[in-house]
Structure 1
């Protein structure tokens, strides 16, 4: 009779000890948006009334008008003694938008920007070929995220530097 009781005690203790072990790092359950993001610089954005993007990759092209929204920059608000940190968004004069794609791979992508200027004329047509960037914002154990982001300014289109 003592042996079943001892076995039960050992099993219970083993399950409690294993529950106290550190768990593996959790990966967020966030789906990646397959898109080309565009930022129109603060100096150029007053000249842009409408923007049209065309993105071609792996033989498939997607195009459409891009809804431009006011952009912002993050302003660091510091950290508390407990380690909680915060930031706030502040308008920065840029305009941002997104062209959704059916798929995004690491192969080269060609993005063409056109549109209407604030004075009603046509914006210069700008084209850029680049490779989307592979980022690991949640660590390599969580897999890569592909980023296809461009900046439009007076000089044309440029690949946006990786933020992470």
Structure 2
């Protein structure tokens, strides 16, 4: 009977020990299935309108892009805390002269995307049509236990279209 009680006690202890392991805390952040297009600062003044077509896995989506001013992140640092520990950190967005737009592509997968962009310049004349086939990026910013993030982005400048 002592052996049985000892085995039951050890089993319960083992179950409790494995059940109390720290679990991964994953942020509740949703990912937008978009192809992001950035117009380079040097080219932004030449662009009036853009139309993007993106095809992936036999499905195509095409639309005029709503262009808005782009920005970059400026680190504002961290406050010093007691005993050399940092307190909250902050950053701000600063206009950088680019233009940005997005095209919904649902679902967005890891498969290659064929992107084609055209539009008009500042005087209303057609811009050259640019095309590119690229593979979206896959990242695990919060660790593999929290799932993957797929991002698809292109940069348009005077030389053409390229993946970012």
TM-score (ref. length: structure 2): 0.82
- Give the equivalent residue in structure 1 for 2:26: 27
- Give the equivalent residue in structure 2 for 1:107: 111
1:140 equivalent to 2:144? Answer yes
Instruction: Please give the alpha-carbon distance, in whole angstroms, between the structure 1 residues aligned to 2:54 and 2:63.
Output: 9
Q: 1:86 aligns with which of 70, 74, 90?
A: 90
- Give the equivalent residue in structure 2 for 1:149: 153
Within-5 A mapping of 1:21-100: 23-82=22-81, 83=86, 84-100=88-104
Instruction: Please give the alpha-carbon distance, in whole angstroms, between the structure 1 residues aligned to 2:50 and 2:79.
Output: 42
Instruction: Please give the alpha-carbon distance, in whole angstroms, between the structure 2 residues aligned to 1:115 and 1:96.
Output: 14
Instruction: Please give the alpha-carbon distance, in whole angstroms, between the structure 1 residues aligned to 2:112 and 2:64.
Output: 22
Instruction: Please give the alpha-carbon distance, in whole angstroms, between the structure 2 residues aligned to 1:42 and 1:22.
Output: 49
Give 1:105 shift: 1.0
Moved more, 26-35 or 49-58: 26-35
1:124 equivalent to 2:124? Answer no
Instruction: Please give the alpha-carbon distance, in whole angstroms, between the structure 2 residues aligned to 1:51 and 1:138.
Output: 34
Instruction: Please give the alpha-carbon distance, in whole angstroms, between the structure 1 residues aligned to 2:142 and 2:122.
Output: 40
Question: What is the aligned length?
Answer: 143
Structure 2 runs not aligned, ≥5 long: 1-12
- Deviations, residues 112-161 of structure 1 (Å, cap 9, x unaligned): 0101110110011000101111011111111111111000001111101x
Give 1:23 shift: 3.6
CA RMSD of aligned residues (A): 1.7
Structure 1 runs not aligned, ≥5 long: 1-13
